[in-house]
Amino acid sequence: MHDIDLYRRSDEGMSVALIREAFHYQSRFAGSTMVFKIDFPVTEDPAFPLLMRDLALLAQTGFRVVIVPGAKEWIDSVLGEYGIVSGYAAGNRITTAEAMPFVEMAAFHVANRFMTGLSADRVDAVIGNFVRARGLGVSGGVDMAHSGQVDKISIDSIGRILNLGAVPILPCIGWSPAGKPYNVSSDEIALAASTALGAVKLFVVSVHEGLRKGAYSLPENISIGENGRVIRMTPHEAEAVLASLHGDASALVNAGKPGDKPLAELRLALRASCAGIERVHLIDAREPGAVLRELFSNLGSGTMIYADEYESIRPLKTKDIADILRLMEPLMQQGLLIRRNAEVIQEKKEDYAVFEIDGSVHACGALHDWGESQGEIAAIATDPAYTAMGLGRRIVRYLIDRAVKQGFRRVFVLTTHTHDWFEFLGFKEAPVESLPERKRNGYNRERKSMVFALDL
């Protein structure tokens, strides 16, 4: 086959894989609620209309989209224009009675930008008084005046709007039961709305490069994407990052350098995870299609903080056989793996394990018992789109654990091309004679596989 044919085949294969993945996520999440907290600078970016188009597309295809616009920078600029200087206490703006009308004007102006963006894509949107608030009162001797906190989110009203296929927009204003307006942090509104509405996801959309390797001290083994950005983190890892930078993560809710947006967002994500939001996605709006990629592919471009069991290794089920043959086929063609068919795999089904991410299989491996307390680790394969993310290593570790539990004293592998990798995992070269007799008798000398083994 010519190179160009190979290229076309793999290119088409990738598109089909992507479409398959998108369908998987569409069927999984359609009908569920997603909250988008979107920073004001996003609305000034050339990428804003495209972001709005993507959100409109989601609303039109059955996703329940809720928008919480951040308005801080616009409020600052409006207040500045009218010569009003804001003070801050414990990270919150002190909103005086004089400032409040301007804050309301700025908040609704920003909310209106989102409504206008959605109108361009013919999606109905409703800016509403969905937040009941109460004042922050006097904090550390400072009267916070019109600065408030979320008391309650009107889930019934928001639910009715969502049922109509429209998008509710929650500006950073809340009202007391007596009708007094308060300026409420959009982070707090996003957090409260996500929990009250039972959102499956909270997206935090901004215009910065986010948590990147090199810029922050990150835990080892954390998954870094091609763009250098952390792909995903458990709440535990997020906590470790915050603690390593500031000493104690629990004391950090409003602390830290005020300008450090990525860390502020990580804190918000951690709080949302702790409040039960399964997935929080931190996204840079400037990356084309960032929201769709994050939603419809498990290799999105942002950072995901996930509270559920996102990845897992589990025993093979019959329905997975087609998937692992799809993974192994190109490797069998290249002679990296020996040929197996569905019957052979079915016969030894219990030996296999798969690495599943969000319901799709992306790596596999097997442990075969050859007697004499020795197990063979075989059929290790990782989806080419998921290599160098630790999947192969974790499958091997899982199989080693299984071997220990089964009472094996040694595991071995026969390899023609991957000996360096197994050596890196602690395996040592061993003579063919060290193999259990049954395996030795079937050893294909022409294939010249090297034997690498690990004593348990």
Nearer to ligand COA, 282 or 361 (CB): 361
Pure H helices in 310-432: 321-333, 342-347, 391-405, 419-424
> Is residue 378 a contact point for ligand COA (CB under 6 A)?
yes
Q: How far is the CB of 120 from ligand COA (least distance, A)?
A: 43
User: What is the DSSP-derived secondary structure letter of residue 252?
Assistant: -
Q: How far is the CB of 295 from ligand COA (least distance, A)?
A: 24
Nearest to 88 by CA among 75, 106, 70: 75
Interface region with ligand COA, contact rule CB under 6 A, candidates 82-90, 104-112, 315-323, 417-425: 417-425
* Comparison of 251 and 388: residue with beta carbon closer to ligand COA: 388
Q: Binding of ligand COA at residue 429 (CB under 6 A)?
A: no
> Per CB under 6 A, which region of 11-19, 95-103, 203-211, 375-383 contacts ligand COA?
375-383
Residue 417 CB, nearest distance to ligand COA (Å)?
6
Residue 152 backbone dihedrals phi, psi, to 5 degrees: -160, 145
Sheet with 410-415: list strands edge to edge. 311-315, 352-357, 360-369, 374-382, 410-415, 450-455, 428-430
Measured CA to CA, the distance from residue 290 to residue 207 in angstroms comes to 11
Q: How many residues bind ligand COA (CB under 6 A)?
A: 21
Q: For ligand COA, which is the closer residue by CB, 57 or 338?
A: 338
Work out how close the CB of 84 gets to ligand COA at its nearest, in angstroms, rounded to a whole number.
Answer: 53
Closest C-alpha among 379, 335, 322, 331 to residue 353: 379
Name which of 222, 225, 220, 188 is nearest 209 in CA terms. Answer: 225
Could you say which of 346, 387, 406, 434 contacts ligand COA (CB under 6 A)? Answer: 387
Task: Collect all residues with Cβ–Cβ distance below 8 Å to 161 and sequence separation of at least 6.
Answer: 126, 128, 167, 168
Site stretch for ligand COA (CB under 6 A), options 125-133, 270-278, 315-323, 391-399: 391-399
Shortest distance (Å) from residue 334 CB to ligand COA:
8
Tell me the C-alpha distance between 73 and 1, whole Å.
58
Q: How far is CA 293 from the centre of its chain?
A: 10
What DSSP designation does 256 have? Answer: S
To the nearest whole angstrom, how small is the minimum distance from the Cβ of residue 304 to ligand COA? 19
Residue number, 122 or 448, with CB nearest to ligand COA: 448
Residue numbers 279-338 binding ligand COA by CB under 6 A: 331, 336-337
Distance from C-alpha of 46 to C-alpha of 8, rounded to nearest angstrom? 33
Q: From the CB of 391, what's the least distance to ligand COA, in Å?
A: 4
Positions in the binding site for ligand COA (CB under 6 A): 331, 336-337, 363, 378, 380-382, 387-393, 413, 415, 417-418, 420-421
